Amino acid sequence: MLRYLTAGESHGKALVAILEGMPAGLRVDIKKIDQELARRQSGFGRGLRMQIEKDKAEILAGLKKDVTLGSPIALLIENKDFSIERLPKVTCPRPGHADLAGLLKYGFGDIRNVLERASARETASRVGIGAICKLFLTEFKIRISSRVLSVGGESSAVGMKKKILQAKIKKDTVGGIFEVIVKGAPAGLGSYVQPDERLDGRLAQAIMSIPGIKAMEIGLGFDYAYRFGSLVHDAIYYSKAKGYFRRTNNAGGIEGGISNGQDIIIRACMKPISTLLKPLDSVNIVTKRAKKAAIERSDICVVESAGVIAESASAFVLTDALLEKFGSDSLKDIKENYQNYLKRMR
């Protein structure tokens, strides 16, 4: 079973992640991990924090001569802005953030105790983990990419940039929709046997756990609601050259909780960032009097970055599903099992 844990606060000393269950024999290129971390920090509309942090990963355990040992992998990303002990107390929760709900849950008297961990800064750890999973998937010619489909309702590059600039001028934020595409995944990942084994359900949990994601769909998604079944289901064909194939992919590569061999297509909505430079109404948790919400250093738009994080989330789920089906100890053995499976399907 593949699993991970992350630790660390937004302005703490470092972010830490432990990945357990990665098989032995995978060569890990640290430069590839750093490239993914840099992609997470990119995108028009990012804030000042991205100019401070230049994320670099350090692997502390689980490798020998850059090759996995089958033991847990420990990954460290240091924060240059290590200031958690010096930062002021926060007493006015931001609408849309975990501030008030977290405060009520844990009984804190300082919202900073919530926001430091609830911050999307934590996702750097997930991208580090996802980068290792991507390296594993590459061994099986499975590739994951993402793209921004729209920002603030605009879908052209010029329109999206203009929308972000408008939000910046207004001291506002803006969200949008991104798409993740998985190419090369074989049929048979996931299962219909139990609800928690369904591949689409596992992907949904991984994507929806990214801070700020409020909706997602696979394949045709919400458009299924407006069409007849005869117009949406992907007809099945067969030829000796291709085997089973489809001419459409409305299912987005998953049927009955199982990958069907087509591209897996995921779309998700990233909401506008909760921190506004022109803050909304709130309440001071000490005096209980009306006051404007707190302002923290933040971004204007992070839709592109959210797509990168979603790639990593998807990579983890697909790696886990592949290991379940083909073994989890040795990369060499897994590859052999995988090739035998592909021969059987042909």
Pull the structure tokens for residue 219. 């394949």
Confidence of residue 206 (pLDDT cuts 50, 70, 90): very high
- Sign for the CA dihedral angle at 68, 69, 71, 76 comes to negative
What's residue 52's pLDDT?
A: 63
14-63 pLDDT, tens per residue? 999 999 999 999 999 999 999 999 999 988 876 665 556 689 999 999 99
What's at 304, amino acid-wise? E
123: CB partners within 8 A, 6+ apart: 40, 210, 211, 309
* Exposed/middle/buried for residue 15 (C-beta within 10 Å: 0-12, 13-18, 19+): buried
Mean pLDDT of 76-96: 94
Among 311, 302, 304, residue whose Cα is nearest residue 181: 311
Mean pLDDT of 97-109: 97
Alpha-carbon gap, residue 70 to 67, rounded angstroms: 9
229 with 237: CB under 8 angstroms? no
What's residue 81's pLDDT?
A: 87
What's residue 255's pLDDT?
A: 98
Q: In the chain, what are the domains? A: 3-345 (3.60.150.10)
Alpha-carbon gap, residue 256 to 138, rounded angstroms: 25
Whether pTM > 0.85 for this model: the answer is yes
What's residue 48's pLDDT?
A: 60
SS3 104: helix
Confidence of residue 300 (pLDDT cuts 50, 70, 90): very high
Among 247, 295, 263, 255, residue whose Cα is nearest residue 111: 295
CB atoms near residue 207 (< 10 Å): 22
Pull the structure tokens for residue 71. 């033991």
162-179 pLDDT, tens per residue? 999 999 999 999 999 999
Confidence of residue 2 (pLDDT cuts 50, 70, 90): very high
Alpha-carbon gap, residue 166 to 189, rounded angstroms: 43
261-294 pLDDT, tens per residue? 999 999 999 999 999 999 999 999 999 999 999 9
Per the prediction, the chain carries an average pLDDT of: 95
Among 322, 277, 315, residue whose Cα is nearest residue 296: 277
What's residue 43's pLDDT?
A: 86
Alpha-carbon gap, residue 237 to 243, rounded angstroms: 8
108 with 114: CB under 8 angstroms? yes
What's residue 177's pLDDT?
A: 98
Facing residues of 264 across strands?
A: 182
Inter-CA distances, 323 with 127, 151, 326, Å: 20, 36, 5
Q: What are the backbone angles phi and psi of residue 216, rounded to the nearest 5°?
A: -150, 160
253-263 pLDDT, tens per residue? 999 999 999 99
Facing residues of 279 across strands?
A: none
Alpha-carbon Rg for the chain, nearest whole angstrom, is: 22
Residue 215: pLDDT over 80: yes
Mean pLDDT of 289-304: 93
89: CB partners within 8 A, 6+ apart: 110, 111, 112
Alpha-carbon gap, residue 203 to 207, rounded angstroms: 6
Residues in the chain: 346
What's residue 346's pLDDT?
A: 77
Q: What are the backbone angles phi and psi of residue 44, rounded to the nearest 5°?
A: -70, 130
